[in-house]
Chain A
Amino acid sequence: MIVEFGHFTLVLAFMVALVQTVLPLWGAYRRDTRLMAVADPAAVIQLLLIATSFAALTYAFVSNDFSVKLVVENSHTTKPMLYQFAGVWGNHEGSLLLWVLILAFFGACAAWFGGNLPATLKARVLAVQGSIGVAFLGFMLLTSNPFLRLANPPMNGDDLNPLLQDPGLAFHPPFLYLGYVGLSMSFSFAIAALLEGRVDAAWGRWVRPWTLGAWIFLTIGIAMGSWWAYYELGWGGFWFWDPVENASFMPWLIAAGLLHSAIVVEKRESLKAWTILLAILAFGFSLTGTFIVRSGAITSVHAFANDPARGVFILGILAFFMGGALTLFALRANALDAKGVFSMISRETALVANNLLLAVSAFVVFVGTIWPLVAELVFQRKLSVGQPFFDAAFPPFMVILAIILPVGAMLPWKRAELRRVLRLLTGPLVLTLALAALIWAVQTGRSALGPVGAGLGAWVVMGAAVDLWQRAGRGGVLDRLARLTRLPRADWGKATAHAGLGITIFAVAAINAWATEDIRVVKIGETFPLGRYDVTLQAVNTLEGPNYTTTMADMRVTKAGAEVTVLHPEKRFYPVQAMPTTEAAIRQGVFEDLYLVIGDAQDGGGYAVRSYIKPFADWIWAGSLLMALGGILSLSDRRFRAAAGARKPLAVAAE
């Protein structure tokens, strides 16, 4: 009964979304305030209805209702409680329900917090948001209904894919979706602005928090996914350039560009058309990502749901929204004239370069991701594009970006003198080159990746520090320190996020350049050297977990005779899905991770053991979290909150 009720509210939500699309749009066109006023309650009701559906599906999962097809396919009575919940979105239908729930949540947020928006703009934003809801609710009801019942319910379910039974992955999809779907807000604002025919500084200020929020969630979501891959997949990789990873990375890159160009709109009323285009593309890449993940058109390690019919439907949604948006853009972009003029050397130009590099790098990822499909369809060549290609084709753009970042970040608006900024950065530049040279000298014979990565990282981090220090003005050190604490949060956010990027660049280079790997057969009681450590395989035991059996090794790690730690790598077997997984044992350290993996028992006795030393591994995610933290600091800046109160009297004065 509860399941049917959830199904019913989902259908109702579809109807409400239709109303939310049509009436406010018509109302904004006719300047009819009553019709426009429908948007607010519709958005809130849509959220409540979808939340009810979601609660109903969650209930079906938690209560192990095996008459529901989806529950049978993705759950089992022995599954731990956390994954009973996470199982709701660990599959195609449920994850779509989460998708539309978040979409409706953002719509409702726009209704709640959009009080200071002009009435027509707000009505149009909510209408566009509603139309996305119509498309995806229709998609769910027609091709991917989570509430289907079975005529003959089985006694138990098929369980969730064991790889997904992990806390990191339980919360990875919600964050990622908050990011993906959050970009729908920037999209709705862009379309609404095109319909209004007006983009001004106020628009830039309204759209930036939404983009920033979506970008923060995407950053956290991607970092979580990469961390999960690092410890769960068992060979210590953290990024595989898999189509599904790329699907989340492309919107991240575009959203990062959008964040920066929206600043130019807000502060200088320039780059308007470009910013609108980026807002459209960012959501376009989100939809493309959804298409890639949900259709399985581009086969990937993650393609948990492959169904061509669904693929065609999503492709239709993608074509409709992107085709419509880009046509509208082509018709209206000319009306968006720029006000602010700026010279060739200025903060604006630096941000144009930032946008160009981010957009091109997203384009490279896009071309690489779809190239196998294009090559097969157009050139009849069956080929693969994988990690080695991206490792060669992507980093150059990031290197250029990192080189210009500290300089661009300190250039003044409108008109700048390059020499003055370069003089401020002389210290960091000298230190950077010295560091790179030192590393180059110490690690003779290895690749240039290490010194280059360390140099770039140091350059970006020191650049961020100099930028902050410069913002603190002149005078004595104490005065400056005091002023540092009173700087706007946005300044701190900028420096923090940039420093985070520098740290991540350094860590990625370091782990690739300096990792140690060792593969060998080890008998019980045997000791082998691993870098500066000695590792002893003490015992291997078979144990029972809640829904798996495990072969667990006890491995003692010593350094110069002194015990460092005892690690327990596991090899698990999940009988319901008949699937083995590897649980690497990791000793995390500030400067390096010890990463041990136990493999199969060998014919001649002993076990296959893979061990790694991964230098600076955790710095990758620390850097990502710093980027997200920078975003949060920037989002909490007074400017965004104060603006809400300040606008109303201003608008009155203007009238």
Chain B
Amino acid sequence: MRALILALMLIAAPALAVQPGEMLADPALEARARAISENLRCPVCQGETIDDSNAPISRDLRLAVRERLVAGDSDTQVVDYVVARYGEFVLFKPRASGSSLILWLAGPAMLLAGAGIAFAALRRRAVAPEAAALSDEDKARLADLLQK
């Protein structure tokens, strides 16, 4: 129970995670830092980005991201820098490589497969609907009747 309470305290830390003092003066660079942080997971919390987390390590990461940006790194280089130290666990959006391709392709693949199966089943089922269709003459009569 103590451990649970402790864990809850960590999770439910107040929401002011990005502190004003940490932010960069250059709004363009800061915007890039925020965009990068959104995809970086706090390594010790439960499913929080480093932006939302209050853990000291998240603060270190936020500062590290900004340091690299100021040093002139590209966004990809910054992310690579963090991943090299903490592993792909910190990426909320796994890279579409190796076994993670399954994750990315599962949805589109299922849509294609489902659409294919449905199409085949529907074609089999649609038994010559043309035969049952009304001729132009009948249609004209029907329209005429509906008008009245």
Against A, the Cβ 8 Å flags (1 = close, 0 = not) of B79-106 are 0000000011111111000111001101
Known: A385-B92, A599-B14. Contact between A521 and B126, CB under 8 A? no
- Using Cβ atoms and an 8 Å threshold, which residues of chain B touch A310? none
A344 to B49, CA, bound (A): 47
Q: Would you list which residues of chain B between 37 and 68 have a CB under 8 Å from chain A?
A: 38-39, 41, 46-49, 52
Determine if A381 and B99 form an interchain contact, defined as CB atoms under 8 angstroms apart.
yes
Determine if A349 and B127 form an interchain contact, defined as CB atoms under 8 angstroms apart.
no
User: Does B76 sit within 8 A of A, measured CB to CB?
Assistant: no
Distance (whole angstroms) from the CB of B134 to the closest CB of chain A: 10
Distance (whole angstroms) from the CB of B124 to the closest CB of chain A: 10
* Residue in A360, A602, A610 whose CB lies within 8 Å of B107: A360
Q: Would you list which residues of chain B between 1 and 37 have a CB under 8 Å from chain A?
A: 1, 4-5, 8-9, 11-21, 23
Q: Would you list which residues of chain A between 136 and 184 have a CB under 8 Å from chain B?
A: 158, 161-163
A388 to B90, CA, bound (A): 12
Determine if A383 and B46 form an interchain contact, defined as CB atoms under 8 angstroms apart.
no
- Among the 9-residue stretches A327-335, A455-463, A574-582, the one with 4 or more Cβ atoms under 8 Å from chain B is A574-582
Known: A301-B48, A341-B127. Contact between A384 and B94, CB under 8 A? yes
Determine if B19 and A397 form an interchain contact, defined as CB atoms under 8 angstroms apart.
no
Known: A341-B126, A384-B41. Contact between A363 and B16, CB under 8 A? no
Known: A235-B15, A519-B20. Contact between A415 and B129, CB under 8 A? yes
- Using Cβ atoms and an 8 Å threshold, which residues of chain B touch A357? 111
Q: For residue A236, which residue of chain B has the nearest CB?
A: B15
Known: A383-B100, A388-B92, A519-B20. Contact between A234 and B14, CB under 8 A? yes
The SS class assigned to the A binding surface is mixed
- Using Cβ atoms and an 8 Å threshold, which residues of chain A touch B107? 360-361, 363-364, 367, 393, 397
Determine if A571 and B126 form an interchain contact, defined as CB atoms under 8 angstroms apart.
no
Determine if A356 and B41 form an interchain contact, defined as CB atoms under 8 angstroms apart.
no
Q: For residue A298, which residue of chain B has the nearest CB?
A: B47
User: Does A303 sit within 8 A of B, measured CB to CB?
Assistant: yes
A234 to B16, CA, bound (A): 8
User: Does A392 sit within 8 A of B, measured CB to CB?
Assistant: yes
Distance (whole angstroms) from the CB of B128 to the closest CB of chain A: 9
User: Does A382 sit within 8 A of B, measured CB to CB?
Assistant: yes
A522 to B5, CA, bound (A): 32
Known: A397-B107, A577-B8. Contact between A386 and B92, CB under 8 A? yes
Determine if B14 and A581 form an interchain contact, defined as CB atoms under 8 angstroms apart.
yes
Known: A343-B126, A386-B47. Contact between A579 and B9, CB under 8 A? yes
User: Does A608 sit within 8 A of B, measured CB to CB?
Assistant: yes
User: Does A639 sit within 8 A of B, measured CB to CB?
Assistant: no
- Using Cβ atoms and an 8 Å threshold, which residues of chain A touch B19? 599, 608
Distance (whole angstroms) from the CB of B22 to the closest CB of chain A: 9
Distance (whole angstroms) from the CB of B125 to the closest CB of chain A: 6
User: Does B114 sit within 8 A of A, measured CB to CB?
Assistant: yes
- Using Cβ atoms and an 8 Å threshold, which residues of chain A touch B88? 381-384
- Using Cβ atoms and an 8 Å threshold, which residues of chain B touch A554? none
Determine if B16 and A580 form an interchain contact, defined as CB atoms under 8 angstroms apart.
no
* Residue in B13, B21, B110 whose CB lies within 8 Å of A363: B110
Determine if B89 and A382 form an interchain contact, defined as CB atoms under 8 angstroms apart.
yes
Determine if B15 and A597 form an interchain contact, defined as CB atoms under 8 angstroms apart.
yes
Determine if B16 and A582 form an interchain contact, defined as CB atoms under 8 angstroms apart.
yes
User: Does A299 sit within 8 A of B, measured CB to CB?
Assistant: yes
Determine if B90 and A521 form an interchain contact, defined as CB atoms under 8 angstroms apart.
no
Distance (whole angstroms) from the CB of A196 to the closest CB of chain B: 24
Determine if A389 and B93 form an interchain contact, defined as CB atoms under 8 angstroms apart.
yes
User: Does A59 sit within 8 A of B, measured CB to CB?
Assistant: no
Q: For residue A572, which residue of chain B has the nearest CB?
A: B14
User: Does A113 sit within 8 A of B, measured CB to CB?
Assistant: no
A352 to B89, CA, bound (A): 38
- Using Cβ atoms and an 8 Å threshold, which residues of chain B touch A158? 1, 5
Determine if B12 and A579 form an interchain contact, defined as CB atoms under 8 angstroms apart.
yes
- Using Cβ atoms and an 8 Å threshold, which residues of chain A touch B9? 577-579
- Using Cβ atoms and an 8 Å threshold, which residues of chain B touch A8? none
Find the residue from A158, A300, A371 having the highest chain B CB count within 10 A: A371
* Residue in A304, A361, A368, A578 whose CB lies within 8 Å of B103: A368
Distance (whole angstroms) from the CB of B23 to the closest CB of chain A: 6
A381 to B90, CA, bound (A): 12
Q: For residue B22, which residue of chain A has the nearest CB?
A: A519
- Using Cβ atoms and an 8 Å threshold, which residues of chain A touch B1? 73, 158
Against B, the Cβ 8 Å flags (1 = close, 0 = not) of A360-391 are 11011001100100010011011111111100
A463 to B12, CA, bound (A): 43
A602 to B127, CA, bound (A): 75
A375 to B118, CA, bound (A): 31
- Using Cβ atoms and an 8 Å threshold, which residues of chain A touch B140? none
- Using Cβ atoms and an 8 Å threshold, which residues of chain A touch B106? 363-364, 367
- Using Cβ atoms and an 8 Å threshold, which residues of chain A touch B14? 234, 571, 580-582, 599-600
- Using Cβ atoms and an 8 Å threshold, which residues of chain A touch B114? 356, 359-360
A338 to B121, CA, bound (A): 12
* Residue in A242, A385, A579 whose CB lies within 8 Å of B8: A579
- Using Cβ atoms and an 8 Å threshold, which residues of chain A touch B16? 234, 582, 597, 599-600, 608, 610
User: Does B145 sit within 8 A of A, measured CB to CB?
Assistant: no
User: Does B133 sit within 8 A of A, measured CB to CB?
Assistant: yes
A112 to B39, CA, bound (A): 52
Determine if A344 and B122 form an interchain contact, defined as CB atoms under 8 angstroms apart.
yes
* Residue in B49, B94, B104, B133 whose CB lies within 8 Å of A383: B94
User: Does A446 sit within 8 A of B, measured CB to CB?
Assistant: no
A341 to B127, CA, bound (A): 7
User: Does B115 sit within 8 A of A, measured CB to CB?
Assistant: yes
User: Does A437 sit within 8 A of B, measured CB to CB?
Assistant: no
- Using Cβ atoms and an 8 Å threshold, which residues of chain B touch A388? 38-39, 92-93
Distance (whole angstroms) from the CB of B35 to the closest CB of chain A: 10
- Using Cβ atoms and an 8 Å threshold, which residues of chain A touch B38? 387-388
- Using Cβ atoms and an 8 Å threshold, which residues of chain B touch A608? 16, 19-20
Q: Would you list which residues of chain A between 381 and 421 have a CB under 8 Å from chain B?
A: 381-389, 392-393, 397, 414-415
User: Does A647 sit within 8 A of B, measured CB to CB?
Assistant: no
Against B, the Cβ 8 Å flags (1 = close, 0 = not) of A232-271 are 0111000010110000000000000000000000000010
Q: For residue B48, which residue of chain A has the nearest CB?
A: A301
Distance (whole angstroms) from the CB of B70 to the closest CB of chain A: 18
Distance (whole angstroms) from the CB of A36 to the closest CB of chain B: 36
Known: A520-B20, A582-B14, A599-B16. Contact between A300 and B46, CB under 8 A? yes
Distance (whole angstroms) from the CB of A610 to the closest CB of chain B: 6
A356 to B114, CA, bound (A): 7
* Residue in A242, A306, A382, A519 whose CB lies within 8 Å of B18: A519
Determine if A352 and B118 form an interchain contact, defined as CB atoms under 8 angstroms apart.
yes
Determine if B47 and A389 form an interchain contact, defined as CB atoms under 8 angstroms apart.
no
A37 to B71, CA, bound (A): 79
- Top 8 closest pairs, chain A to chain B, by CB: A386-B92, A599-B16, A234-B15, A388-B93, A343-B129, A364-B107, A379-B99, A367-B106
* 16 additional A-B residue pairs with CB within 8 Å, beyond A158-B1, A393-B107, A600-B16: A235-B17, A243-B47, A300-B46, A342-B129, A344-B123, A356-B114, A375-B100, A381-B99, A381-B100, A384-B88, A385-B92, A385-B94, A388-B38, A388-B93, A521-B21, A608-B20
12 contacts between A and B (CB under 8 A): A300-B47, A306-B4, A359-B114, A363-B106, A363-B107, A375-B99, A385-B92, A385-B103, A386-B41, A397-B107, A580-B13, A602-B20
